[in-house]
Structure 1
Amino acid sequence: MLNMENILLITDIPGYTPQISRLVSMMNYARFTTLDAVKNLTQDQLDFLLDSQSNSIGALLLHFAAVEYAYQVLTFEKRKLNDEEISIWRPALDLGKEGQERIKGNDLEYYLKKLDEVRNRTLEYFKSVNDDWLNVEEDFWWNNQANHYFMWFHVFEDEINHRGQIRMIRKRLNV
């Protein structure tokens, strides 16, 4: 559950080191605005597709959870998703046709619960590391180096990017 107190402050949060607190603050605000963008949507609205190439709002919400989960595994557990995790998360990670076919028929509470479950796990992991951990560099996309700070910035940057899609779909739904 998101702590709404001081949602507009990027500041220290008890239980986290200073830079991790700031990262969590930014993630919290991104999530706050996402939750506002999907407030009161029905199952039909969550499943709506603009066209054969688009993603539903529900699929995008599950995508946020899937990306965050994948980064937990990558950065904290130092591994790739296993076969069982891939079967659970692939439709939401890849989206596309498989996402259109498999991610539907759920109400808003279903997606909010998934987002909360994954975020709560992230917050517990963040309590186990310090600011130095953010600077750890690893191989990343296309043989580039990235540090944990960038990787976790990317988690909420991806959410912000796709939230724009959600807002556009919502406007098309006239809600």
Structure 2
Amino acid sequence: MEKRRFIIEFGKTQDHSIDYLLGILEDARITTLQAIANIPTAEIDWQFQEGWNTIGALLAHITAIEHYFRIEFVEGRKLTDEENNQWLPGMEMGPYLPQLIKKQPTDAYIIELKESRRMLMEALQKITFTNFVKRIEDYDPVTGCNLAWALYHMVEDEIYHRGQISIIRKLYKSHHSNPNFKVVDF
């Protein structure tokens, strides 16, 4: 398992602001991988209630969103029909939730997370500071956004979902260790 470094290295790219974001991306992913290490498949696919996200669905979402952000914001192109079919279930979740329950081991999700991050980092090696700060017509009709914000938002989303994974793990453990556990209707 990769270890957090607790340091962000500068000088990897031509611009320190890009180095800073790359360090944040790396640390966020390592922390996610540490949080899911050795989770049994039964826990990956467990739902607190019907329609609730599973850990596996959230991991599929993190992976799909990363591919989407790489393609749309870093590469600057639209998803192909094939890419859209591949990543839409993970991006949207909701009605696609049943097909995101795959009965695959944690290691399969780890491989997908590592591959999506490798592809993103490779694509980011080609950007310049101008690409990083250039206005993109997205998110806000008045201000738009830029690649720096889009990637920050992607990391923010991963961290948010890692919190959900933590809650699901606690609910799973409570449910499976307490025979009197009752699901409360929210």
Task: Determine whether 1:141 maps to 2:139.
Answer: yes
Instruction: Single out whichever of 139-148 and 52-61 deviates more from structure 2.
Output: 139-148
Matched residue, 2:43: 45
Task: Determine whether 1:95 maps to 2:85.
Answer: no
Shift of 1:62: 1.2
Shift of 1:27: 1.1
Seen in structure 2, the aligned counterparts of structure 1 residues 53 and 99 have a Cα distance that, compared at 3 Å, is: closer
CA RMSD of aligned residues (A): 1.9
Task: Choose the corresponding residue for 1:66, options 60, 64, 67.
Answer: 64
Compute the TM-score of the two structures, normalised by the length of structure 2: 0.85
Matched residue, 1:159: 158
Return 5+ residue gaps in structure 2 as ranges.
Answer: 175-186
Instruction: Single out whichever of 71-80 and 106-115 deviates more from structure 2.
Output: 71-80
Seen in structure 2, the aligned counterparts of structure 1 residues 164 and 143 have a Cα distance that, compared at 3 Å, is: same
Instruction: Single out whichever of 8-17 and 143-152 deviates more from structure 2.
Output: 8-17
Shift of 1:18: 1.6
Which residue identity lines up with residue 145 of structure 2 in the other structure?
Answer: A
Which residue identity lines up with residue 10 of structure 1 in the other structure?
Answer: I
- Give 4+ residue runs of structure 1 displaced > 4 Å after superposition: none
Q: How does 1:9-28 map to 2 (within 5 A)?
A: 9-12=7-10, 14-15=12-13, 17-28=15-26
Instruction: Single out whichever of 37-46 and 7-16 deviates more from structure 2.
Output: 7-16
Seen in structure 2, the aligned counterparts of structure 1 residues 33 and 19 have a Cα distance that, compared at 3 Å, is: same
Matched residue, 1:33: 31
Matched residue, 1:170: 169
Number of equivalent positions: 173
Q: Distance in 2 between matches of 1:140 and 1:153?
A: 14
Which residue identity lines up with residue 103 of structure 1 in the other structure?
Answer: I
Q: Distance in 2 between matches of 1:95 and 1:16?
A: 37
The answer (yes or no) to whether the contact 1:66–1:93 under 8 Å persists in 2 is yes
Seen in structure 2, the aligned counterparts of structure 1 residues 37 and 20 have a Cα distance that, compared at 3 Å, is: same
Q: Distance in 1 between matches of 2:51 and 2:141?
A: 30
Q: Percent identity?
A: 30
Q: How does 1:57-136 map to 2 (within 5 A)?
A: 57-136=55-134
Work out which of the two has the higher radius of gyration on C-alpha atoms and give 1 or 2. 2
Which residue identity lines up with residue 55 of structure 2 in the other structure?
Answer: I
Which residue identity lines up with residue 81 of structure 2 in the other structure?
Answer: D
SS at match of 2:145: strand
Compute the TM-score of the two structures, normalised by the length of structure 1: 0.90
Q: Distance in 2 between matches of 1:149 and 1:15?
A: 15
